[in-house]
């Protein structure tokens, strides 16, 4: 067996006490000689530290005998779930300590649109499962996203959230977004967590793969398999996936890759997630949402254009920002 780096096996030697000398029959009487027995050796039990100073590994089914051999031993430095945790961006969580002063809507602002967004998320049977909100800097996109995240968390509908930040190297790129989303989803269901961990164990290089491969391996396939096994009920599973500040992900190609991956891996599959993405109206999201042949999100997504001059408190009940003009039946229902 190959020993883990930096680990040594301490040796223990068992020493027996010297035997008492056997007395001569000439020195003892007949009765004494008849009853004399050799003094048995004294056994000493030594406690040894097999792997002194070792950490971050497990030893399964270990047996050490007096010949100092180790049999049938498995040493695992880190399981799949632990490796996943090493590849997440904890600063991107909606309740991360790094975002303790995150902006959110005041009670009297964005009231109408906040309600519409929450209603859209809670409507699991709605025809479109992606909503994109674009707006200039200062329009209140991140404040809305934070408010929605907190409300979804309180109602147990928040599956995961990821807040990009151009100033934070752990969350201004795509390297951690899929592991971070997968981790949050796995925390909602033990069977899903195990399936995600096994996916990492089966492919330890998964974090170096392209984004679509990561999403298929760490989210789509584990979720589908656990649902098929009956260990997860998709109709009650927290299903909101929130992504804020797509424009703060460096590189327009990376932004486009994330949008196309969301479509091919989440929207095109029979998954229950409802995804809410906010961004400045940069090239990647404008092109994807455009009513042109290359606008691959034009049909499957709702699009809200949030102006920095938008007055949420003056929103009219005659028009839905998500669905367009309201029908009389909708208003009366």
pLDDT tens digits, residue range 135-174?
998 888 998 999 999 999 999 999 999 999 999 999 999 9
Kindly tell me the burial class for residue 225, based on how many C-beta atoms sit within 10 Å of its own C-beta (0-12, 13-18, 19 or more). middle
- Say what angle helices 221-228 and 190-202 make with each other, to 10 degrees: 130
Q: Compute the Cα dihedral for 242, 244, 246, 248 and give only its sign.
A: negative
Confirm if 248 and 163 have CB atoms less than 8 A apart.
no
Residue 151: C-alpha distances to residues 155, 157, 158 (Å): 6, 9, 8
pLDDT reported for residue 70: 46
pLDDT reported for residue 21: 52
Confirm if 81 and 197 have CB atoms less than 8 A apart.
yes
pLDDT tens per residue across all 333 residues of the chain: 444 444 444 444 444 445 555 544 344 444 444 444 555 555 544 444 555 555 555 555 554 454 455 444 344 446 999 999 999 999 999 988 776 666 666 565 567 888 899 999 999 999 899 999 999 988 889 989 999 999 999 999 999 999 999 999 999 999 999 999 999 999 999 999 999 999 999 999 999 999 999 999 999 999 999 999 999 999 999 999 999 999 999 999 999 999 999 999 999 998 999 999 999 999 999 999 998 777 999 999 999 998 744 544 444 334 456 665 443 333 333
Phi, psi (degrees; rounded to nearest 5) at 324: 90, -155
pLDDT reported for residue 273: 98
* CA–CA separation, 300 and 327 (whole Å): 21
pLDDT reported for residue 295: 93
Q: Domains (ranges, CATH) in the chain?
A: 1-77 (no CATH), 82-332 (3.40.50.300)
* CA–CA separation, 192 and 187 (whole Å): 8
């Amino acid at each position: 067996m190959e020993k883990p780096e930096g680990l040594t096996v301490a040796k223990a030697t068992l020493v027996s006490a010297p035997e008492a000398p056997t007395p001569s029959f000439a020195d003892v009487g007949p009765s004494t000689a008849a009853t004399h027995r050799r003094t048995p050796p004294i056994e000493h039990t030594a406690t040894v530290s097999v792997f002194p100073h070792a950490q971050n590994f497990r030893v399964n089914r270990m047996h050490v005998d007096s010949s100092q051999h180790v049999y049938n031993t498995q040493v695992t430095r880190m399981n799949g779930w632990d490796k996943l945790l090493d590849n997440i961006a904890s600063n991107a969580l909606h309740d991360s300590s790094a975002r303790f002063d995150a902006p959110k809507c005041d009670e009297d602002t964005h009231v109408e649109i906040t309600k519409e967004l929450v209603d859209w998320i809670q409507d699991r049977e709605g025809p479109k499962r992606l909503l994109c909100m674009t707006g200039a800097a200062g329009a209140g996109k991140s404040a809305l996203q934070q408010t929605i995240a907190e409300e979804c968390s309180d109602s147990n509908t928040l599956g995961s959230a990821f807040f990009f930040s151009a100033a934070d190297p752990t969350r201004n790129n795509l390297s951690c977004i899929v592991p971070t989303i997968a981790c949050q989803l796995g925390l909602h269901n033990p069977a899903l967590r195990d399936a995600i961990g096994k996916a990492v164990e089966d492919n330890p290089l998964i974090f170096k793969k392209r984004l679509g491969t990561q999403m298929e391996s760490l989210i789509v396939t584990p979720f589908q398999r656990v649902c098929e096994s009956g260990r997860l009920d998709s109709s009650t599973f927290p299903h909101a996936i929130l992504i804020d500040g797509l424009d703060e992900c460096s590189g327009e190609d990376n932004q486009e890759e994330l949008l196309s991956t969301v479509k091919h891996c989440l929207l095109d599959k029979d998954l229950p997630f409802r995804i809410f993405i906010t961004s400045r109206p940069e090239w990647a999201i404008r092109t994807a949402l455009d009513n042109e042949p290359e606008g691959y999100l034009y049909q499957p997504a709702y699009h809200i254009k949030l102006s920095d001059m938008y007055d949420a408190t003056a929103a009219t009940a005659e028009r839905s920002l998500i669905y367009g003009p309201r029908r009389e039946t909708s208003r009366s229902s």
